[in-house]
Structure 1
């Protein structure tokens, strides 16, 4: 079975991206969208992978709930990803981390392009979000040292209906009312929600239904 929309997504990722306009829809209050490098002792970079795959007639992406013992963003919902190591390209980092966290072979992944970079002031990281495709549901193997749960998110459901809710969250900046995407009892907020918001916006602007 072919998936002609994959080439369309690849083309859309090479055109002008909505970036900040989409990110602001899911931006927590008081959060900056750019770094003040005069205030930072170190510039840090990470990559994440928004992986698309088909399953039972629908297109999914995979998220994880981070291990509550992780140093950065413990217990939060995130894409597979991590810090870019010295001498490593952002693309390689995204695929390496996907293999380490959820067991996806880089040989199976077709990279389609990159979404807009995103700065996270809480951890001081700039994120490079990559979009990838696997033409079958991967045999996921969860690395429980880094993630305690695998979440398979059906992309079409969020294209058909914009499910943005708000809730109170305890953060290192205090208790905040934040926007989030609800899914099966999970609260998808912060950087993960902002990356998803841009991807959904790109698909909508390109009139893609993923059929």
Structure 2
């Protein structure tokens, strides 16, 4: 799929008020990856103390011709659309060793869109001027850190020259959009917290487990892609 077609479809879906069926599908996409013992805390109204944060789902092409080219969708040389994820260093204060989307807290005077672009630049070296933002998903409350996270969708014409910041990124991972097409490979593991075992759904990626808030956001985005007939 060419860049313009992909961007047009996603812009239309993200700008529209979701129908009841669409809203239910997006919520189901999130809940598919919801850990046990969450008790719906991701879905209720956030407390007034919640801090604003933002993440970026950056779509970029790899392989085939230019993303703006005339390569048909059914030709093997067509570009493959992907998005970057990051493995956080083991010694970092928040979400150490976890797979995350580029993002972080909103600074004073910033919008969530500006924060998502800034964090993408700081973590992976992608200049904001390269990125066209297509819209955002519904804000998502992460009760473990008390952040209200707004996921933004962005797109670039070609794969950027990555410059990962080693202070925030131990490794960069690649998730093809095809991994978010049905049937999604949801797996499950048992974790232990405060002496209690609980089940955690996750998305396997390059030997790592994508779980928690990141997988729930990706689950909702998968529903958006399905609604836009992308995948």
**TM-score, reference length from structure 2:** 0.83
- Determine if contact 2:90/2:96 at 8 Å carries over to the other structure: yes
Aligned pairs (5 A) from 1:1-211: 2-15=3-16, 16=18, 18=23, 19-31=26-38, 32-33=41-42, 34-35=44-45, 37=47, 42-56=49-63, 57-171=79-193, 174-209=196-231
Q: Extract structure 1 runs of 4+ deviating beyond 3 A.
A: 170-175
The one-character-per-residue Cα deviations of 1:99-140 (angstroms, maximum 9, x if unpaired) are: 000000000000000011111111011100000001100111
Unaligned segments of structure 2, at least 5 residues: 64-78
Say which SS state the counterpart of residue 104 (structure 1) adopts.
Answer: coil
Unaligned segments of structure 1, at least 5 residues: none
Q: Distance in 2 between matches of 1:171 and 1:85?
A: 31
The one-character-per-residue Cα deviations of 1:155-199 (angstroms, maximum 9, x if unpaired) are: 123315311000123456854220011112110001110111011
Number of residue-to-residue matches in the alignment: 206
- Determine if contact 2:13/2:227 at 8 Å carries over to the other structure: no
Equivalent in the alignment of 2:70: none
Max Rg structure:
2
Q: CA RMSD in A?
A: 1.8
Q: Distance in 2 between matches of 1:95 and 1:133?
A: 11
